Amino acid sequence: MGDCKSVAPGLEGEENLIAAAQHIVKALGSNKNLTDDVRKILVDLGTQLSTITIADENKSEGVNEIEDRLIAAQDKVMSWEADQCMVWDSGPEEAAEYLKAVEEVRKLTEVLESLCLNKDSEGDELLRRAYDVLQTAMARLEEEFRYLLFQNRQPFEPEHMSFRSNDEDVVDEGSIISFEDDPVEDSLQTDSISRSSEDYIIHLVHPDVIPDLKSIANLMLSSNYDQECSQAYISVRKDALDECLSILEMEKLSIEDVLKMEWAGLNSKIRRWVRAMKIFVRVYLASEKWLSDQVFGEVGSVSSACFVEASRASIFQLLNFGEAIVIGPHKPEKLMRILDMYEVLADLLPDIDGIYQEDIGSSVRTECREVLGGLGDCVRATFLEFENAIASNTSTNPFAGGGIHPLTRYVMNYIKILTDYSNTINLLFEDHDRADPGSLSSNTSPVTEEENKSGRSSCSTPTGLHFRALISVLECNLEDKSKLYRDVALQHLFLMNNIHYMTEKVKNSELRDVFGDEWIRKHNWKFQQHAMNYERASWSSILLLLKEEGIQNSNSNSPSKTVLKDRLRSFNVAFEELYKSQTAWLIPDSQLRDELQISTSLKVVQAYRTFVGRHNPHISDKHIKYSPDDLQNFLLDLFEGSPKSLPNTHRR
Q: What is the pLDDT of residue 564?
A: 83
Q: What is the pLDDT of residue 47?
A: 54
Q: What is the pLDDT of residue 515?
A: 94
The answer to whether residue 158 scores a pLDDT higher than 80 is no
pLDDT in tens, 309-321: 999 999 999 999 9
Tell me the DSSP string of 262-302: -HHHHHHHHHHHHHHHHIIIIIIIHHHHHHHHHHHTTSHHH
- Reading phi first (left if > 0) and then psi (alpha if -120 to 50, else beta), residue 210 is in alpha
Classified as helix, coil or strand, 649 is coil
Q: What is the pLDDT of residue 314?
A: 96
pLDDT in tens, 87-108: 899 999 999 999 999 999 999 8
Taking alpha carbons only, the member of 355, 187, 193, 196 closest to residue 274 is: 193
Most confident range, picked from 128-137, 196-205, 370-379, 641-650: 370-379
The answer to whether residue 144 scores a pLDDT higher than 70 is yes
* Cβ-proximal residues to 272 (8 Å cutoff; 6+ apart), any chain: 163, 248, 249, 250
Q: What is the pLDDT of residue 199?
A: 52
Between residues 553 and 93, the one the model is more confident about:
93
- Report, as an integer, the average pLDDT of 413-420: 94
**Is 498 within 8 Å of 405 (Cβ atoms)?**
yes
pLDDT in tens, 58-76: 455 567 888 889 889 888 9
- Report, as an integer, the average pLDDT of 324-328: 94
Segment among 16-25, 353-362, 414-423, 639-648 with least mean pLDDT: 16-25
* Mean pLDDT estimate for the chain: 83
**Is 332 within 8 Å of 382 (Cβ atoms)?**
yes
- Report, as an integer, the average pLDDT of 460-473: 93
Rounded CA-CA distance 331/171 in Å is 15
Q: What is the pLDDT of residue 190?
A: 41
Q: What is the pLDDT of residue 167?
A: 38
pLDDT in tens, 511-546: 999 999 999 999 999 999 999 999 999 999 999 988
pLDDT confidence bin for 436, thresholds 50/70/90: low
pLDDT confidence bin for 566, thresholds 50/70/90: confident
DSSP structure class, residue 359 = G
* Cβ-proximal residues to 601 (8 Å cutoff; 6+ apart), any chain: 631, 632, 635
The answer to whether residue 641 scores a pLDDT higher than 90 is no
Rounded CA-CA distance 525/334 in Å is 35
pLDDT in tens, 187-207: 444 443 333 334 578 999 999
DSSP structure class, residue 586 = B
Between residues 617 and 435, the one the model is more confident about:
617
